[in-house]
Structure 1
Amino acid sequence: LRNIKKQTKGLGGKGKLTGKLIDELSIYYGLAIRRNHDSIEKMRNEIYATLDHKLSTDDKPKHDKCPRGENSWCSWQKAQATGNSNYKHKPPLSQEVFKAISPIYEQLSTDELLTRCLGGYTQNSNESFNATVWFMAPKSTSSGKHVLDTAVYISVGIFNDGLSSVMRLMQNLSITIGPNCFNFCVETDERRIKFSERSLTDAAKVARSSLKTSRKEAEQANIDIHGQMYGAGIAD
């Protein structure tokens, strides 16, 4: 979605394909997959339900595919279930944006792709490992092969065993490990475990989503200034 926004002149801006809208659509798509990972048809139905939801107006509500009941994620269906007759729709997705993103939704709802989502398997582990690598060798900074290789080697250890792996690396390099270093590694690993447990709460998920949005905006601003330094096919 961000690529099509960048490639299509006039698609961005107020009331169109904003960064916030892109994040919302991405979150809705992910939820549609995770909530219905036992059925391709259910996944596809809810994917398009989220799109129709965004296209709905007071005159033309399009919530037939949205789940019904008071506990529905669809605010219109929830209002219907609770008897709220004062419900008003937010400004809908513009037709210009809808036409631009429709082909993407078609690609993301094919049987071939959704079949791979059956069972609810995710890439979270890989994404977490990648985040560890990019923390040491950021995408926005040009890094040579040796720097990237070193970042990957260290990240593998940290990802699997925490900072205790760094102490083993220091031992192999004959670097003396003092009490401050030892305590720091142990305490950091303990905090990481506690943070992982706390991150499963709903409040943490909301905060994480907000932080992710801010980080994406900062990365996009950096790319706009310096250009893309990392990406599929960038060296072609």
Structure 2
Amino acid sequence: MQNAVEGACAEAGSRDLVVSGDGSWQKRGFSNHNGVAAVISSSDVPKVLDIERLSKRCTVCDGAKNMIINFKYYYRQAIVRNKTNLDDMVKAVWAIYKHKSSTNSDPYHEWCSSAYCGFWKALEKNENLSRVLNGSTQNPNESYHSVLWSMAPKSRSSSGTIIDFCVALSVIVYNDGYQSLLPLFESLLGSSGTFTSSIFQRLDQQRTSTEARTKSKSARNSMDSLLSNINKTHDEADDSYMPGAY
């Protein structure tokens, strides 16, 4: 999208761009939770400049509620199991906080027990130890929506993570074509393959021809409408023949 913004600014000769914005729900009806809003440049070749996935459901909030419930349970267990030893009780309570605030880069499991801590359980497994034995306008918007929802059909429910993945792929395809996915495939899989490259090239050709037909049809309709208005104006202005006048 950064390349799309730079290209739009270069084409317009200014950073004050005319854009179109529109949103779309992932599924039909009012029960859907996921939607996408896109801002697209109003240029000869529209490009997606910005994209945002929004949701009525907050998985982080739901997870936080469950975490609070778990904290209450763990806190009670720490008190019950160490009710005769204040030092062990304090240590067990702090172990809850340290365990939950730990990350892969900053682990704080020194007070945890291998009975419940997945960090220590993983370290105790032979297969894990063996690994280290010897040292990874709206028309452009609607056009973009059609690309996006072809990857995440409205008839099928999808999670927010899947929508994010489809949004990223659809922006790449819409802005630069299917062949722009080849470097991504190569970085993930090591190579893209001859058949994959051939199919992506064919998809881009089909997309280009479809757009050309659509623009040609739109141009013909505009020309027909213009000629119709011209003929209508000419007929109204032409008084060479008036019924009943002669």
Query: What's the TM-score bracket when you normalise by the shorter of the two chains?
Result: 0.3 to 0.5
Structure with bigger strand share is 2
Q: Which has the larger radius of gyration?
A: 2
* TM-score normalised by L of structure 1: 0.33
* TM-score normalised by L of structure 2: 0.32
